[in-house]
Amino acid sequence: MILQNIHSEFESFLKSNSPKIDSIHPTLEKSFSYLLNIPSKRFRPLLLLGTVDAYNENLTRNAFDVAYAIECIHTYSLIHDDLPCMDNSDLRRSKESTHIKFNEITALLTGDALNTYAFELLSRSSFKDSIKIKTIQNLSQNSGIQGMVLGQAIDCYFENTKLLQEEIEFLHINKTGKLIASSLSMAGIILEDEELEKSLYNIGIDLGLLFQIQDDILDVTSSSDDLGKPINNDKDKNSFVTILGIKLAQKRADELKTLVLAKINKLNNDKFSQNINSLIKKHL
């Protein structure tokens, strides 16, 4: 499949598979799907789907539930990140943040719901049980206390406290890199190729750092209209720009981009290289 078509099909899949919540609560079902269904770049799900498609296109549509789970985790993290107790951001994907659209309690619980729903999706995917278990282990480890949650905790705790470059990289490997690495490596799990899974995870860690550095640079060089979220939101945090400055941050990004592209090409799969290079060019 063409990556653009995968993206289009996945957007339709998300909208047609929003869960029904039988409840007297007036807005929980709407808030669950609100941010999730705003069209976006879907970088993480497309890393998974583009990789699966490059190696075995017959499995691509079967992997939609796994990609959906990734997007649920990512979306929950954005909702919680926007809350007043964290980044206090009123704008996300060029729309009102979930706590502004609804209220703070609903946003908090919506994030919780998306987090748990991700693992329901993995548990009922069309793959055999051994693959389901490995995807559940992979996503929970990389999004939890050994990954994204750990990174978020470090980021918030050390706000207004300057860290060293290696400490910032550790922070952002966890906060951003490990979910991106999970997105790629779960494709290896689906394909039942352990060596590929390890290679994809390593690519994902470097790609995650690259993604974060570029995001930090855009935070000070772009407009809120371009980004769909507030700018200059990291001035009190340990971003690559606040610690290294723009020139050194860009230099580190260039180094990582060269490294990532070399690792991608080393796998000797032209369609994989094309798909991932396309995502990198479009979003980084």
**pLDDT-based confidence at 22, cuts 50/70/90?**
very high
- Distance (Å, rounded) from C-alpha 105 to C-alpha 107? 5
Split into its structural domains, the chain has a count of 1
Q: Residue 237: give its domain's CATH number.
A: 1.10.600.10
pLDDT recorded at residue 232:
67
pLDDT band of 266, cuts 50, 70, 90: very high
82-89 contacts, C-beta under 8 A, 24 or more apart: 82/107, 83/107, 83/108, 86/152, 86/156, 87/233, 89/229, 89/230, 89/233
Residue range 93-108, pLDDT digits in tens: 999 999 999 999 999 9
Percentage of the chain beyond pLDDT 70 is 98
Per-residue confidence at 284, pLDDT binned at 50, 70, 90? Answer: confident
> pLDDT band for position 283 (50/70/90)?
confident
Domain that holds residue 149: 3-283
pTM for the structure as a whole: 0.95
